[in-house]
A and B are shown apart, each in its own frame.
Chain A
């Protein structure tokens, strides 16, 4: 199957820093791909680069092949035709993404009229269908509501309705459920997954929540300090994480099911913070890494392909010595 999205060596540069340093990954049609990382990992800038929505001072390098065209070399005019129609994005805070002085109906109709040749009346009918698709009760009545009349969960559903209005091939959800309560978050994730199947749409979930990744993603990319450090299916990645950072992160997270209480002992910690990676010549996790060796300070570790679906950017993973074909795949 040809990938819908093929990102090669993507970098994002600001005059004073390079927060994304050569990231490669693919997304297949109808797939739920998770990009997971903490703040400062570069996951949100990666998403903005895919949308062509980077801040003015930022420069993107590398290639983003989407459905046959390289997004980074497109003119703004052509990009605008793709953005919102073939690639859509939803954000963490629906209240700041929705226009408070327009009804939700107006905002859905606007997208439909920009990208599709629809009369006002047909666009409104289609907007009601879309509200129904995202399970908003009484859509014919709610269509004339303003954003402030809706709950946080309903507002995020409206954002999703706008995003899927033109049947996009790719939907990017940047921490889209982070601000929601846990029972509402479960509903919205379920909705995204249903739409993924119904519309055969690829979804990229950008999140810091390992539980969400483990429960919903088909594949996961782990980022740290601007680089991809591990990739694989969520089952194997969470059962036997390879990279010392992924291992540390999983060990440090209190688990709902784990029968582990503070009276049993402290949680495992990753010392320091991601800030300590800045200015690092070698592996950016080295200052916090429990298995770092002197060599880690000099060169950025290459991504190693352990199997067809599994990559890790650390040569000191014990399992590597048992795997027959470990091939470097660049950084």
Chain B
């Protein structure tokens, strides 16, 4: 099966057990599968509010630690990044796009801090305030584009946080 491409390179076709079996007849058609998936998500969503509250509290607690940390100690940012990522990664799937948008910005800020940027507490706090707002019933199912002033402002803050020179240019 293998065909020699060069002296030290072998190339061969791999049709794995997964691939062979997944191509069998009798599977769930796409439309039906996606309908089932929506039902599954609706069930999982029932506990999402409580989980989001717990993760947000943990995120805020780590940020508080950051205000007391020594310069150069980024352990708080690493822990905060974990919580922000967890929220970001499930928010949109659960229908909380604004929450994912805000925590994605926070992820970028924490990543920058971990790689040496100075923490900008006021910018982080703006995002936390936005997150607390986005969790509320009247906001949680909105998309960032439905709140252009809020999302535009947060984008601008992130831009400045990632590149302080931008603030003086504009």
A and B: real partners? no
